[in-house]
Amino acid sequence: MPGRKIRVTSCSSLHIIGTSLSNPAAKSMKVSATTNTKRHHHHHHHSSKTNKTAAARAAAMVNHDTENLSPIFSSKSKSSDSTDNVGVGDSKISHEAIEQDVTNLTNLNNLPSTNAFEALQISSDRLRTIIAALHCNILIRKADLVRNLDYVANVLDAVHEDETRIKQQHIPVAPIRRRLMEEDDGALSEIEPDSVPNEVRDWLTMTFTRSMSTLKRRPSDKPKFKSVAQAIRAGIMVDRIVKKWTLRIKLKTINEWTFDVFSVNEFTNGQCLRYVGFELMQRYNLPNKLHISITTLQNFLEQMESGYSRYRNPYHNLVHAADVLQTTYQIIYNSGLMVENWLTDLELFAIFVAAIVHDFEHTGTSNNFHIQSRSDVALIYNDRAVLENHHVSAAFRLMRQDEYNILSEFTSDEYKNFRHLVIEMVLATDMSCHFAQLKTMRSLISMQENIEKAKALALILHCADISHPGKPWDIHHTWTQSLMEEFFKQGEKEKELGLPCSPLCDRDNTLVAESQIGFIQYIVEPSFIVVGDMLEKVLKSLVAADSELLSPSIPNRSMTSSPSPSAVSSTELNHQHDEQNGLERQLPSSMTTPIPRSTIVRRPWAEYLKLNRERWVQEAEEERRRKQLNVIEEEP
């Protein structure tokens, strides 16, 4: 669209022109003085009041300097047109105007067709309304967001198709030949575009001239972008905006038990571990607090993904690592211990790293397979916790290299404590230690003494490692299919090596439903009962300690957070750079009575374990029927 400009002022905030959806006729457009393109009729009556309102809304939307914005939003115009700044400096509009525009996003019935000229301006307005709402943390219904973005994408597709068609019709010719053609076609070039139908114009041009560009085009037929490249760039920009905000929305659910790691992995093109890991560490500002280089942390997470992808395992892969990391965090977060001053920054970092590395370079086979096949790793670790020892050892060997050394700024004591915690937690994921671990923890729960923190964290990680039966059915069933496929592949390897087939590894005879019923009933459910009881005991001990020490001058432990969550997540760093050090929740000075705190831990997994077990019982009945039918068919 020649000469079309969206005005952006040169001041520190981005001001959006024409964000109002409530008055579609009131839009602001500049037309270049170098062209003769006329404004459409509905652009003639544009009041200064509308300009002031739109600009003020934009000012309310953006409260940070453009230096802190994503590059997509931080471009500045060199124009100093005073009309662009009218009423901006003194205007402080509440969110009500933007909320009204967000409400209007639900109305798509009266929008022009995607190939209409007006669709471009409306698409721009709707995109900017969405951006304004996201900046102001105004909720947009998912359905409205998807429908509006789909409309904008269709408009861009229409523009691209139109521009491509036009380009294909304009075949470059030599300058001399072009001039001769213009002389020959002079008469037809004078035909006004509205004087004949489109079909007649095209027939006259094709039949009586040597060029398809002779006749004047109607304004609606003119290219809406200067080139195909601009249309493609616009599409890329919109795609980046959509991906950025979609990932931001997905990671906002990272505190929830039902977090869908598969969705995040698909959206990040198979890189969910680095995104989930970086998000959690930035959420609690750990790189800054522990003096960890961001580049080194990114290198470390990328190398973790590489190690998890080495054997292309169906189950023990980077998605499993991301899932265990998020679940470990969620169990602690859900219990309330994140705000109870129970963990230091170093301990929280150790938890995250232990979850990340707990299956690093997993071979897709069990410890028993390594022992029976006399593998190198079994010989190195003397048949004891073979894989678990390798996971943690390989991770620490990696961190000895400078580009992956996230521990380079640790003191000797910090390194020693960190290493002790990580080793303790990772080795506790050895399934052969399962029953001994539960027995020990039950004993500790029954005693008066406080539970050793390393043992508590080890049980949390172990439970997170086997947690998928406690998730929604779709997530649990997907994990089950992946795990069984990995078991079956091991069974095939065992047959090739002449080894006995391990339990659940025979593709032809394993009853999947029955195996999951037993897994839930005898392994997962008892483990989560114990971990829930353990968390409640830890909470009670913290509350009891506070009740003894609390005085009017000493704030309640529950009202201070250490480690404190950063005020921004990793996806918001460009917008809120100044809030890196987290926030402290402080007790009002006038409050002298402690607020009662619950010591009951919510157990969201309990209901899912029950529902999934019932579902597997139904599946088991189906398995038995199928097996009986197969026996009948095989009988002579």
User: How far is Cα 587 from Cα 579, in angstroms, rounded to an integer?
Assistant: 21
Q: With bands split at pLDDT 50, 70 and 90, how would you rate the model's confidence at 230?
A: low
Pick from 4-8, 149-153, 355-359, 525-529: least confident: 4-8
In three-state secondary structure terms, 434 is: helix
Nearest to 80 by CA among 141, 7, 145: 7
Buried residues in 453-462 as b, exposed as e (16+ CB within 10 A): ebbbbbbbbb
Buried residues in 546-564 as b, exposed as e (16+ CB within 10 A): beeeeeeeebbbbbebbbb
pLDDT > 90 in the chain, percent: 48
User: How far is Cα 462 from Cα 158, in angstroms, rounded to an integer?
Assistant: 53
Q: With bands split at pLDDT 50, 70 and 90, how would you rate the model's confidence at 322?
A: very high
pLDDT digits (tens, 9 = 90+) for 409-463: 999 999 999 999 999 999 999 999 999 999 999 999 999 999 999 999 999 999 9
Buried residues in 31-57 as b, exposed as e (16+ CB within 10 A): beeeeeeeeeeebeebeeebbbbbbbb
pLDDT at 264 over 70: yes
User: How far is Cα 326 from Cα 413, in angstroms, rounded to an integer?
Assistant: 28
Pick from 146-155, 217-226, 528-537: least confident: 217-226
pLDDT at 197 over 90: no
- Structural domain containing residue 418: 253-546
Query: Alpha carbon 251 to chain centroid distance?
Result: 4
pLDDT digits (tens, 9 = 90+) for 595-625: 567 889 999 999 999 999 999 999 999 988 8
Nearest to 313 by CA among 366, 265, 269: 366
Q: Where among 524, 546, 568 does a domain terminate? A: 546
Q: 516 lies in a domain?
A: yes
- Mean pLDDT, the chain, whole residue set: 77
Q: 412 lies in a domain?
A: yes
CB neighbourhood size of 250 (10 A): 20
Which residues contribute to the annotated binding site?
A: 316-320, 358-359, 465, 516
Same structural domain, 447 and 310: yes
CATH number for the domain spanning 418: value is 1.10.1300.10
Same structural domain, 281 and 424: yes
Domains held by the chain: number: 2
- pLDDT value at residue 248: 76
pLDDT digits (tens, 9 = 90+) for 96-106: 788 888 888 88
pLDDT digits (tens, 9 = 90+) for 485-504: 999 999 999 999 999 999 99
- pLDDT value at residue 41: 41
Q: Kindly name the residue from 316, 362, 390, 462 that is annotated as catalytic.
A: 316
Query: Alpha carbon 103 to chain centroid distance?
Result: 25
The residue written with tokens 């939307």 in the block is 61
Q: 605 lies in a domain?
A: no
**Residue 308 near residue 273 (C-beta atoms within 8 A):** yes
Q: 199 lies in a domain?
A: no
pLDDT at 546 over 60: yes
- pLDDT value at residue 549: 60
Q: Where among 166, 191, 208 does a domain terminate? A: 166
Q: How distant, in Å, are the alpha carbons of 16, 112, 202 from that of 129?
A: 9, 18, 41
Residue 478, C-beta contacts closer than 8 angstroms, at least 6 positions apart: 262
pLDDT digits (tens, 9 = 90+) for 54-64: 444 444 444 44
pLDDT digits (tens, 9 = 90+) for 82-135: 334 434 343 445 567 888 888 888 888 888 888 887 888 888 888 888 888 888
pLDDT digits (tens, 9 = 90+) for 551-571: 444 344 434 445 767 654 554
Instruction: Provide the token pair at 168.
Output: 């294909």
pLDDT digits (tens, 9 = 90+) for 367-381: 999 999 999 999 999
User: How far is Cα 523 from Cα 77, in angstroms, rounded to an integer?
Assistant: 63
Count CA atoms within 13 Å of residue 443 on its CB side.
8
User: How far is Cα 364 from Cα 509, in angstroms, rounded to an integer?
Assistant: 20
**Residue 355 near residue 461 (C-beta atoms within 8 A):** yes
Q: 9 lies in a domain?
A: no
- pLDDT value at residue 243: 64
Which residues contribute to the annotated binding site for Zn(2+)?
A: 320, 358-359, 465
* pTM for the model: 0.62
Q: With bands split at pLDDT 50, 70 and 90, how would you rate the model's confidence at 169?
A: low
User: How far is Cα 465 from Cα 324, in angstroms, rounded to an integer?
Assistant: 6
Of residues 558 and 317, more confidently modeled: 317
User: How far is Cα 299 from Cα 123, in angstroms, rounded to an integer?
Assistant: 39
pLDDT at 339 over 60: yes
Same structural domain, 269 and 126: no
Helices within 136-192 (DSSP H only): 142-169, 175-184, 186-189
pLDDT at 525 over 80: yes
Same structural domain, 443 and 308: yes
Residue 239, C-beta contacts closer than 8 angstroms, at least 6 positions apart: none
Same structural domain, 408 and 514: yes
Q: How distant, in Å, are the alpha carbons of 148, 291, 400, 405 from that of 408?
A: 48, 9, 9, 6
3-state helix, strand, coil in the chain (%, to 5): 60, 0, 40
User: How far is Cα 247 from Cα 274, in angstroms, rounded to an integer?
Assistant: 13
Same structural domain, 155 and 258: no
Same structural domain, 439 and 319: yes
Instruction: Provide the token pair at 400.
Output: 């000895």
The mean pLDDT value for 216-228 works out to 50
The mean pLDDT value for 570-595 works out to 45
Same structural domain, 147 and 274: no
Q: How distant, in Å, are the alpha carbons of 18, 133, 157, 476, 527 from that of 616?
A: 56, 44, 46, 11, 19
Q: 51 lies in a domain?
A: no
User: How far is Cα 24 from Cα 125, in angstroms, rounded to an integer?
Assistant: 9
With 0-12 CB in 10 A as exposed, 13-18 as middle and 19+ as buried, what is 505?
buried
Q: Where among 144, 166, 188 does a domain terminate? A: 166
Which residues contribute to the annotated binding site for AMP?
A: 316-320, 359, 465, 516
Same structural domain, 162 and 273: no
Q: 566 lies in a domain?
A: no
pLDDT > 70 in the chain, percent: 64
Same structural domain, 380 and 495: yes
The mean pLDDT value for 575-589 works out to 43
Report which listed range, 34-43, 173-182, 332-341, is most confident.
332-341
- pLDDT value at residue 176: 41
Q: 316 an active-site residue?
A: yes
User: How far is Cα 416 from Cα 398, in angstroms, rounded to an integer?
Assistant: 17
Residue 68, C-beta contacts closer than 8 angstroms, at least 6 positions apart: 574, 575, 576, 577, 578
Give, rounded to a whole angstrom, the gap between the first and last alpha carbons of the chain. Answer: 78
CB neighbourhood size of 585 (10 A): 12
Same structural domain, 266 and 152: no
Nearest to 114 by CA among 149, 72, 165: 149
- pLDDT value at residue 200: 56
- pLDDT value at residue 82: 37
Q: What contacts 24+ positions apart, CB below 8 Å, involve 83-86?
A: 83/48, 83/51, 84/7, 84/9, 84/15, 84/17, 84/55, 85/9, 85/11, 85/15, 85/55, 86/48, 86/51, 86/52, 86/55
- pLDDT value at residue 167: 63
DSSP 551: B
**Residue 129 near residue 144 (C-beta atoms within 8 A):** no
Of residues 608 and 246, more confidently modeled: 608
Q: 594 lies in a domain?
A: no
pLDDT at 171 over 60: no
Same structural domain, 362 and 485: yes
CB neighbourhood size of 231 (10 A): 22
